[in-house]
Structure 1
């Protein structure tokens, strides 16, 4: 069983995420180091964050291993649902646990206590950061979900795609 719990989740504000999107020179797509996973189900109507990938929460059981493999090169993966109170955090936990499960199976611990992938050799760094050492991928949850996102950035076409004011104007 995994040691990853709710206390391991980290949140990102809509303002922080918007700044990352605005700073991207790859408009209209996301920065190459970032993935946004939208886990809303039938409530996916009315818009979405530019460049996000829609993976309904009802499909996460069988799509999570695929997500871990396809997103392995991303530095940051952000999950969200409508409010990011249940499905978004749950999806982030599921993703983190699956990533841990897949990584644990392909790594070994050396007698020095270092974790290395099978087939890799440990490099001696002499006080410098080890070459080939993988950066830990950040898995985040969008605070307030799409509801808070669209409240501020819905009309901004640089940040939100297919936004429909009439769906959101009276709140969620």
Structure 2
């Protein structure tokens, strides 16, 4: 069981390589032995990820979701993901995401991505991490190990490598991607 990794800044955010995510998807959306999370800012900072933990891929692209997506991903456009309920000041969408995908798994790896994983993907990962560190989720974190990561180089890199592979990419349209 991998100890929870909740990033607090871009400096300690971990990234997962497309080739490792590819192997996890072929393993029925479960992590495989020997994969690591990497830091973009500290080459010595890696995270060994245990095998057979559920992996949830969250695609935060909005209109640019057309043309294909990673098989089994959850499309949660960044604009919706970060929306705050004006009456309560709560991120209702994120609370719903946590209930659906995190509360039912003791161990889970969440991998965010957008087109290039430079802005929306990392921002969504950091937002989820911040919310999970609120008092109301303390019990969840005590009983669960949650790893929050970002897909290195995003969907643009993914589609170059695996776009035409129907085992891991759905609804791929080569006209959109060239």
TM-score, structure 2 normalization: 0.71
Q: Structure 1 residues 52 and 134 mapped into 2: Cα distance closer, same or farther (>3 Å)? A: same
How far did 1:65 drift? Answer: 1.8
How many residues end up aligned between the 2 structures? 137
How far did 1:6 drift? Answer: 1.4
Tell me the equivalent position of 2:64: 43
Tell me the equivalent position of 1:14: 18
How far did 1:71 drift? Answer: 1.9
* Structure 1 position 54 matched with structure 2 position 75: yes
Tell me the equivalent position of 2:115: 82
- Larger-Rg structure: 1
On the 8 A contact 1:68/1:98 being kept in 2, the answer is no
What whole-Å deviation, never above 9, does each CA across 1:41-99 have from its counterpart, x for those lacking one?
Answer: 11111000000010011101241221122221251111000000000000000111111
* Structure 1 position 143 matched with structure 2 position 152: yes
Tell me the equivalent position of 1:129: none
Unpaired runs of at least 5, structure 1: 25-29, 108-116, 119-132
Q: Which of 58, 67, 71 matches 2:97?
A: 67
Question: What is the Cα-based RMSD across aligned positions, in Å?
Answer: 2.0
Unpaired runs of at least 5, structure 2: 1-6, 31-52, 84-90
Q: Structure 1 residues 70 and 168 mapped into 2: Cα distance closer, same or farther (>3 Å)? A: same
